[in-house]
A = this chain, B = another copy of it.
Amino acid sequence: MKVNNNLSSYIKRYIELTEEENELFQSFLKNTVLKKGDFLLKAGQTCTAKYFVVKGCVRLYYIDGKGNEQIIHFGLDNWWITEYDSLINKNPSNIYIQAIEDTLLLTLNQTSFEKLTLEIPKINTLFRIIMEKTFIASQRRLEYMLSYSGKELYQKFVSQNPEFLQRVPQYVIASYLGMTPEFYSKIRSNTI
C-alpha cells in the first residue's frame, strides 16, 4: 500500500515512526475528494473524523445572528483540520467545512484513531502536538484581534500568508479578519 509522501514528511517533523508503523498508520486513512463548493461538514451534522489536507483549501465557518458567514479557520495543504467540539463531545456542529477549491484529503475517523492509538501509542503524541499547535495559533489570533486595528490585521495577514490572496475570495478573507468586504476593499485601495 502506497503511503502519502506529504503526510510522511509531516509526521517526521514531530515523531519518529518506523517504515512499518508509518504504513500501518496510513492504512487507516481514507482518501476523500472534494470539488470546489462541496461540504465536508454541515451545521447539524456530527463530526466524526480528523482530516489531513493533501492538496487544496477548505474553510470553516458558521452563520452568525445576521445570516452572514463568519469564517473562523482555513485548511491549506499539510494542515490537519476537524471540528473539535463536535468530534469530542459528539454533538451536532454549528460549523460548516467547505472546499474553496478542488481538494484532496486523508480522513482519519475516530474509531480508526482509537484503534491506531492502541497499536501505535506514539500517535497520541503526534495528535497532542497538533492540538497544542492549534491552540497556540488560536491564542495568537485572539491576541491579534484584541490588539490590532482592521488595517493592521490586514497588513499582518498579507505578509504572513501571501499564498491565500490568489486562492481565496476577498470576502472570505474579510470575514476571517472580522471585517466587512467593503471595509476590506477600502483598506486594500488605501482609502483608509
Contact = CB atoms under 8 A, between A and B. Distances in A.
A124 interface: yes
B84 A146 contact: no
Contacts of A128: 124, 127-128, 131
17 contacts: A64-B146, A64-B147, A65-B147, A70-B147, A72-B142, A72-B143, A72-B146, A84-B132, A84-B135, A84-B139, A85-B136, A88-B132, A124-B128, A135-B138, A138-B138, A138-B142, A145-B146
Contacts of A171: none
Contacts of A148: 65
Interface residues of A, number: 29
A85 B121 CA distance: 24
Copies per complex?
2
A134 B145 CA distance: 19
A80 interface: no
A150 interface: no
Nearest to A134: B135
A93 to B, nearest CB: 12
A30 interface: no
Contacts of A65: 147-148
Interface in A79-137: 84-85, 88-89, 121, 124, 127-128, 131-132, 134-136
Nearest 9 interchain pairs by C-beta: A64-B147, A135-B135, A85-B136, A138-B138, A88-B132, A131-B131, A70-B146, A146-B178, A84-B136
Contact of A131 (B132, B141, B178): B132
A139 B85 contact: yes
Nearest to A145: B145
A88 B134 CA distance: 12
A124 B138 CA distance: 22
Nearest to A178: B146
